[in-house]
Amino acid sequence: MRDSAKAMLTGNAITTGYRISFLANYLMGVIYARVQADLGFNRAEAAILFCLAHMTPLSGIEIAEMTGRPRNSISPAVGKLVRLGLIAKEPAEQNRKIELLSLTEEGRAMSEKVVAYFVARERPMLEPLASTAERELLDGLLARLIFREDNWLDTTV
């Protein structure tokens, strides 16, 4: 790493936030570029497959909230994944206007491939944390920043 990058990561007005963003860019940016190159899915499409691999069924709104992606990026991605036969849509029982998304058998197989990219990239990122305790501490601190009582995650405020 260049000295200028080290300086920016250690001495700016939002050092912690900048470091989190830096890690996210080098983690997620690389994953999405590789998924795009190898499997042909853009960021929104890969995010949908990732989310549905872990929880199903979900609405597009739920996926947007889970990923921090804009809702208008989710709809076209859903359309493509439906056309490819990787996900299915069905109306929610409580509100027929809401479409619930789930993986097809082909989608499940593809989502496993997508998830493997995430796992493979995260593993070396965490290697400097030598112990399980360090990794659990990091996970716990990140969880405290995310699962909070205030409205910090509400970007409309």
Domain chopping of the chain, boundaries: 3-124
Interval 127-151 mean pLDDT:
93
Q: How many residues does the chain have?
A: 157
pLDDT at 149: 87
> Rounded to an integer, what distance in angstroms lies between the CA atom of residue 14 and that of residue 91?
44
- Cis peptide bond upstream of 91, omega within 30: no
Task: Provide the β-strand partners of residue 91.
Answer: 99
Interval 7-34 mean pLDDT:
90
Interval 27-34 mean pLDDT:
96
Interval 122-133 mean pLDDT:
95
Contacts of 153 (CB under 8 A, 6+ apart): 146
pLDDT at 157: 55
pLDDT at 122: 95
Residue 89 and residue 59 in contact, taking contact as beta carbons nearer than 8 Å: no
Per residue, the 3-state secondary structure of 66-120, as one string, reads: HHCCCHHHHHHHHHHHHHCCCEEEEECCCCCCCEEEEECHHHHHHHHHHHHHHHH
Average pLDDT over the chain, rounded to an integer: 92
Fold of 3-124: Arc Repressor Mutant, subunit A (1.10.10)
pLDDT at 5: 76
Tell which residue, 50, 51, 101, 45, has the closest CA to residue 77: 45
Interval 108-132 mean pLDDT:
96
Q: Per-residue pLDDT tens for 47-106?
A: 999 999 999 999 999 999 998 888 898 999 999 999 999 999 999 888 888 899 999 999
The pLDDT-based confidence of 31 (bands split at 50, 70, 90) is very high
